Structure 1
């Protein structure tokens, strides 16, 4: 079954392992017949600061943010690559979520659940995160309780209804050998072909 896939490179640099991973995924998914739309945070120009806006007076979206949000609403499956920097995602990627995940389009404050949380509006979508880091997966779990995965899965994507979120982690990522990178790219291409 073909899927509508949004692929987001969340690394702010012009060249990166994250960018290579998303490209490998997108190429393989397209070849397999899936409908793919790509976004690259390094090429997106927008004000990352949410500013003084509130739920009732959100800052108007720049065209690039509106396009991203429209594609997010359109997609069945979201694939995001991000490096792990200082235990979190890059500031520009966080800024994208701060600005684009707005009430009325991604969550509904008028219909809270029994805990007072707004109703998610992007239900029925799944996600895959391609996480690069120097922290090995075992240490990320043992020392840091997979904090970054909990934040992305529960407090960002899950908050607006995108779940489940699956992870593929690539480490150590600072100076990997070419053979290792080629193996990672093949792994990601296999995921793309299956829209997984």
Structure 2
């Protein structure tokens, strides 16, 4: 099995969370199998989440934590993001990472649009795994909400910059999960990490 370069992003803003446990488990398992892992935890990242008024022509300079994240995103073969589902979307600080770091000239090329006017993606050749925790069971997420969160992450964020396919692993209901259920989830994630899947 060939080894991969993996970036892991814990998208939960709390210092402790199920998302963090999932990321830690994935990273440890991947490293044990010889994969190279670079880990980012948004609870420790320091940056201004507000994109501001500058626009793409005059963006704010990236803070060191965002520059390190973007450099590792460019470096990686495989992208792993853990996020809770909050109010049908991702946490504000995780959205801030994407708003600030996914910039033209680094992640997409506005000078080279396709026939529909969509900029050319610059992070092609990478795959992704999203570890999604929620209290909404996957079946209801699909039937009631048409998997909106999955479409946003896979198509409008990661897919837009060329990272695809994006595969999802859902863990629900998550708030009161304990014991054997969490252990089973961690074992599943350890298996994914070992395969860099």
The two structures have a TM-score, normalised by structure 1, of: 0.99
Q: Cα RMSD between the aligned structures?
A: 0.4
Aligned-pair CA distance for 1:58? 1.1
C-alpha separation in 2, matches of 1:168 and 1:84: 13
1:57 aligns with 2:63: no
Counterpart position of 1:5: 6
Structure 2: stretches of 5+ with no match in the other structure: none
SS at match of 1:42: coil
Deviations along 1:102-152, one digit per CA (max 9) or x if unpaired, are: 010000000011010111000000000000000000000000000000000
Deviations along 1:69-123, one digit per CA (max 9) or x if unpaired, are: 0000000000000000000000000000000000100000000110101110000
Aligned-pair CA distance for 1:53? 1.7
SS at match of 2:167: strand
Where has structure 1 moved over 3 Å in runs of 4 or more? none
Count matched residues.
Answer: 196
SS at match of 2:39: strand
Structure 1: stretches of 5+ with no match in the other structure: none
Deviations along 1:4-48, one digit per CA (max 9) or x if unpaired, are: 000000000000000000000000000000000000000001000
C-alpha separation in 2, matches of 1:146 and 1:109: 29
SS at match of 1:43: coil
C-alpha separation in 2, matches of 1:129 and 1:76: 15
